[in-house]
Structure 1
Amino acid sequence: MKTNSVNPKEDIQAIREIMERSSKFMLLNSWAGFFAGTCALIGAAVVWFGVLESGALHYDEFLCTVGGSPLNSVTIGLGTVALIVLLLAGVAAIWFSYRKAQKAGQKFWTSSTKRVLAHLLIPIVSGGIFVLILVSRNQIDLVASAMLIFYGLALVNAGKFTSGEIHYLGMAEIAVGLLAGVFASYGLVFWALGFGLLHLVYGVVMWMRYER
């Protein structure tokens, strides 16, 4: 009579995988990346064609000549566009994750969700405060760099509790942010590259690996 053999190592591995999945936030999808990247590129276009008047007011020249009060039409315009893009991307990420949870018959607001949000918000809030400090000191040339670096740190910080792609996206954002600090006069270009193009690449990778 044949008997089914049990492999303890396979059982332990299976239990470990189940525990790992239950402890991680796996509801992010490609559409969140596509939406965030598209919003960022549209925001960069609005800055170029609207705030900077299609290049009539050069970004690098503005950085070199800004003085006096940091609150002027250009800084207000840049800040408004950045804030709108951040809010739209954040709301969209939550919405797409919520919809994915509904379709999968899972709960959205779990301990994993809270853990990811906490690890995201600490660097993002700290970065936002640091950006305000830079603006108050008229160091506008470092704002794009600071935004990218702190956002990248937030993703790396939260990447321990979600898919590995988030970790690598965060590392890429940090690298682009450092380049934006070195080549400060091209801050808008690096901002569009980091928040726009990298999110689109992330969306493509997520779609090809998990959703195709």
Structure 2
Amino acid sequence: MSDKDYLKDISEIKNLMNKSSRFISLSGLSGILAGIYALIGAAIAYWLVMTCSGGTLIIFHGWVFWTSMFVLFMIAFLSALTGIILTTRKAKKNGEKIWDNSSRRLLINFLVPLAAGGLYTLIILDQGRYGQTGALMLIFYGLALINASKYSIGDIKYLGFAEVILGLFAAYYPGYGFWLWVMGFGILHIVYGTWMHFKYDVK
């Protein structure tokens, strides 16, 4: 057997080991839809705030703010539900298990920083520091993506880095927090989802 054959066998073994340790059935289409949900939700929140604040983008500390938070919660719920449905469908199509060691590791590494960020954001809200909400969402979501990328398609870490950077800008320029949130959860998701769809889903 030639050296080329040995190298080919080693490469194939490495690819098999990589696939067995990573959950690679994430759907690019779910990213696109998550971005669309975010844009729709942001439009609803923008209309609500502008209508109730006399034409200035200032979120009241009362029902307007919490209604906007409910809209964001629904966006997250719909995005997660869509992701589960489309990812399950893709996994079945690829003959992969939707729930195994790799998907469990992916979920745990994604949810731990996300849950910590969510709880910290709730603490900040309880203290009345509303201006940092968008920044915290972007930063902790980005960290969750980076942390989970070790157990999935490595490309999601680039989306994570972009979200963290946008979150830091939102923290430094809180007046632009809403628009940076729209860019991070809306536009970036659509761009990333489209790229991933054509790179991994379309064959």
TM-score range relative to shorter protein:
over 0.9
* Partner in structure 2 of residue 167 of structure 1: 157
Distance, in Å, in 1 between the alignment partners of 2:28 and 2:95 is 19
Identity %: 37
Q: Aligned pair count?
A: 201
SS in 2 for 1:164: coil
Query: Is 1:29 equivalent to 2:19 in the alignment?
Result: no
* Partner in structure 2 of residue 48 of structure 1: 46
Distance, in Å, in 1 between the alignment partners of 2:197 and 2:54 is 39
1:156 aligned residue (146, 162, 166)? 146
Query: Is 1:124 equivalent to 2:122 in the alignment?
Result: no
Alignment RMSD (CA, Å): 1.7
Per the TM alignment, residue 55 of structure 1 is displaced from its structure 2 partner at its CA by: 6.6
The question of whether the paired residues in 2 share the 8 Å contact of 1:52 and 1:74 is answered with no
* Partner in structure 2 of residue 90 of structure 1: 80
Distance, in Å, in 1 between the alignment partners of 2:29 and 2:75 is 15
Distance, in Å, in 2 between the alignment partners of 1:190 and 1:54 is 22
Q: Mind listing any 5+ residue stretches in structure 2 that lack a counterpart?
A: none
Distance, in Å, in 1 between the alignment partners of 2:65 and 2:150 is 35
Once superposed, which parts of structure 1, at least 4 consecutive aligned residues long, lie more than 4 Å away? Answer: none
Distance, in Å, in 2 between the alignment partners of 1:133 and 1:139 is 9
SS in 2 for 1:52: helix
Task: Say which is worse superposed, 147-156 or 183-192, in terms of deviation.
Answer: 183-192
Distance, in Å, in 2 between the alignment partners of 1:55 and 1:168 is 37
Measured at CA, do residues 34 and 54 of structure 1 come closer, stay the same or move farther in structure 2, by a change above 3 Å?
farther
Per the TM alignment, residue 208 of structure 1 is displaced from its structure 2 partner at its CA by: 2.3
* Partner in structure 2 of residue 200 of structure 1: 190
Query: Is 1:141 equivalent to 2:131 in the alignment?
Result: yes
Q: Deviations over 1:77-106 (max 9, x none)?
A: 121011111111111111111000112222
The question of whether the paired residues in 1 share the 8 Å contact of 2:110 and 2:145 is answered with yes
Larger Rg: 1
Per the TM alignment, residue 204 of structure 1 is displaced from its structure 2 partner at its CA by: 1.3
Distance, in Å, in 1 between the alignment partners of 2:56 and 2:114 is 28
The code of the aligned residue for 2:6 comes to P
Distance, in Å, in 2 between the alignment partners of 1:161 and 1:203 is 18
Per the TM alignment, residue 181 of structure 1 is displaced from its structure 2 partner at its CA by: 0.7
Per the TM alignment, residue 5 of structure 1 is displaced from its structure 2 partner at its CA by: 4.3
Per the TM alignment, residue 54 of structure 1 is displaced from its structure 2 partner at its CA by: 7.8
The code of the aligned residue for 2:93 comes to K
Query: Is 1:12 equivalent to 2:2 in the alignment?
Result: no
The code of the aligned residue for 1:200 comes to I
Measured at CA, do residues 80 and 96 of structure 1 come closer, stay the same or move farther in structure 2, by a change above 3 Å?
same
Query: Is 1:105 equivalent to 2:95 in the alignment?
Result: yes
* Partner in structure 2 of residue 182 of structure 1: 172
The code of the aligned residue for 1:126 comes to A
Task: Say which is worse superposed, 109-118 or 74-83, in terms of deviation.
Answer: 74-83
**TM-score of the aligned structures, taking structure 2 as reference length:** 0.93
Q: Deviations over 1:2-49 (max 9, x none)?
A: xx6473232122101110011111011221111100000001000011
The code of the aligned residue for 2:28 comes to S
Distance, in Å, in 2 between the alignment partners of 1:129 and 1:210 is 34
Per the TM alignment, residue 57 of structure 1 is displaced from its structure 2 partner at its CA by: 4.8
